Chains A and B, each alone.
Chain A
């Protein structure tokens, strides 16, 4: 087994050219057997590249921030509440950050993630490092992400071991009273909805 690292830190057992050829061969066989169409692959790839991403989840969070009744519905039945905004494809549990409580989502057994609301997971979420450590030393992992929480704050870890997906409802930052729902949505990052970042007011918003 010869391995090589590429610039993204991925370890490949085979050269990219062989991997790529094997994937093309698999697609060709499945197309020949009329099980798959290349258009179907194109369309789902394009959906994940263009339509499905953290901006979807950000709309849900912003609505919860401006509409207390919606927030209550979202926390009680996340699946039904996101359907109100036209989202689905996920059986959703929303967990709320509040004073004294911070939530963190992981999948130690594979890489379960609420695709429909925040897109495909970043490499770090799928990494052995995050999967092994988030349940055992969440405070240390969060510090590496720049989030240093006092011990008085309970960190609730959600290990996604079934067909439910978890989305963190971040706290609405102070000083955002005058912002519209759309402006608020722009403050909500993917990382905040996983629980590895806090949501910051516009002046210091980053990432």
Chain B
């Protein structure tokens, strides 16, 4: 989707502000949001692509007005409600109960969940899955699709309809565009594609600053033999 999250190349945000000796979290609630979100993933309540797309679906003005962990909180609640795990009314009621000093939840222990979550920080990720053989080889010139899909995609706007070169064939990975929408993992080849800065930014490009993106084969067409003709 052409969302506010797709920020590559935008103007108007100003200098990058840094904080010296920044803490890992700026408030305790931020750390709980991170932990709850990781636990929900470990319980397979939603996958990573659904989770990214849920943030993208925030109203643009809310996205811009929220901090990083506020967006995570919004995402987690949104998905748990959509999947029927909780309701917004239930959440409001529980807030009122907690505010009056009453937490009705009995303690719950789950050592296996703890193990799974800690192991996930050390083991191989599950996103590489077998798929069809690659269509493109290293060094081949490609043209990215200029589609503007309404759903989730990892082809950013600034790199659509652009010429690039296959820099690396990474192997077969789960396809976010379908996995975010309950349409299956549909793994296929992921490539690193190199774009010259001038191809992306024209006359305003900085010199010698190529951008590399990891792009799935379905985002790419071979460079047409005759200019302007699609070969897909």
Q: Which residues of A contact B (CB under 8 A)?
A: 1, 3, 6, 8-13, 16, 19-45, 47-49, 52-53, 79, 86-91, 93, 108-111, 115-116, 119-120, 122-124, 126-133, 135-141, 144-145, 151-164
What is the minimal beta-carbon distance from A100 to any residue of chain B, in angstroms? 9
Cβ-defined contact, B55 with A110, below 8 A: yes
Of the residues B24, B48, B204, contact of A49 by C-beta under 8 Å = B24
Q: Which residues of B contact A (CB under 8 A)?
A: 5-19, 22, 24-29, 31-36, 38-40, 42-43, 45, 48, 52, 55, 61-62, 64-68, 70, 73, 76-77, 80, 85-86, 90-91, 94-95, 97-99, 103-110, 113-114, 117-118, 120-125, 127-128, 154-156, 158, 168, 170, 173-174, 176, 190, 192, 200-201, 204, 206-216
Bound-state CA distance A1–B65 (Å) is 9
Cβ-defined contact, B113 with A36, below 8 A: yes
Chain A neighbourhood of B13, CB < 8 A: 127-129, 132-133
Cβ-defined contact, A21 with B209, below 8 A: no
Cβ-defined contact, B94 with A88, below 8 A: no
Of the residues A20, A33, A43, contact of B27 by C-beta under 8 Å = A20
Cβ-defined contact, B91 with A26, below 8 A: yes
Closest to B128 in A: A91
Cβ-defined contact, B127 with A163, below 8 A: yes
What is the minimal beta-carbon distance from A123 to any residue of chain B, in angstroms? 6
- 9 closest residue pairs by CB, A with B: A41-B35, A108-B8, A162-B214, A163-B127, A32-B105, A25-B94, A132-B10, A10-B67, A20-B29
Bound-state CA distance A28–B93 (Å) is 11
Cβ-defined contact, B16 with A48, below 8 A: no
Bound-state CA distance A202–B117 (Å) is 37
Known pairs A137-B206, A140-B206; list 14 more (Cβ under 8 Å). A21-B95, A21-B98, A24-B98, A26-B73, A28-B103, A30-B36, A35-B43, A45-B34, A110-B55, A128-B13, A129-B14, A132-B8, A135-B8, A161-B213
Bound-state CA distance A89–B124 (Å) is 5
Cβ-defined contact, A41 with B73, below 8 A: no
Cβ-defined contact, A126 with B68, below 8 A: yes
Among B5, B29, B42, B124, chain A packs the most CB atoms within 10 A around the CB of B29
Bound-state CA distance A34–B112 (Å) is 12
Chain B neighbourhood of A131, CB < 8 A: 7-8
- Assuming A29-B94, A36-B39, A131-B7, is B32 touching A23 (CB within 8 A)? yes
Of the residues B104, B105, B208, contact of A154 by C-beta under 8 Å = B208
Of the residues A27, A88, A136, A151, contact of B123 by C-beta under 8 Å = A88
Chain A neighbourhood of B128, CB < 8 A: 91, 163
8 pairs of residues in contact across A and B, judged by CB atoms under 8 Å: A6-B26, A12-B70, A36-B36, A36-B39, A36-B43, A88-B124, A91-B124, A108-B156
Chain B neighbourhood of A38, CB < 8 A: 107-108
Cβ-defined contact, A79 with B6, below 8 A: no
Among A16, A35, A52, chain B packs the most CB atoms within 10 A around the CB of A35
Bound-state CA distance A119–B228 (Å) is 46
Bound-state CA distance A131–B71 (Å) is 16
Chain A neighbourhood of B38, CB < 8 A: 44
Cβ-defined contact, B208 with A44, below 8 A: no
Bound-state CA distance A138–B201 (Å) is 12
Among B9, B11, B36, chain A packs the most CB atoms within 10 A around the CB of B36
What is the minimal beta-carbon distance from A12 to any residue of chain B, in angstroms? 6
Cβ-defined contact, A34 with B124, below 8 A: no
Chain B neighbourhood of A130, CB < 8 A: 16
Of the residues B18, B154, B207, contact of A162 by C-beta under 8 Å = B154
Bound-state CA distance A116–B126 (Å) is 15
Cβ-defined contact, B34 with A44, below 8 A: yes
Bound-state CA distance A6–B66 (Å) is 12
Cβ-defined contact, B8 with A110, below 8 A: no
Chain A neighbourhood of B16, CB < 8 A: 124, 127, 129-130, 133, 141, 144-145
What is the minimal beta-carbon distance from A75 to any residue of chain B, in angstroms? 11
Chain A neighbourhood of B9, CB < 8 A: 108, 132, 135-136
Bound-state CA distance A207–B40 (Å) is 35
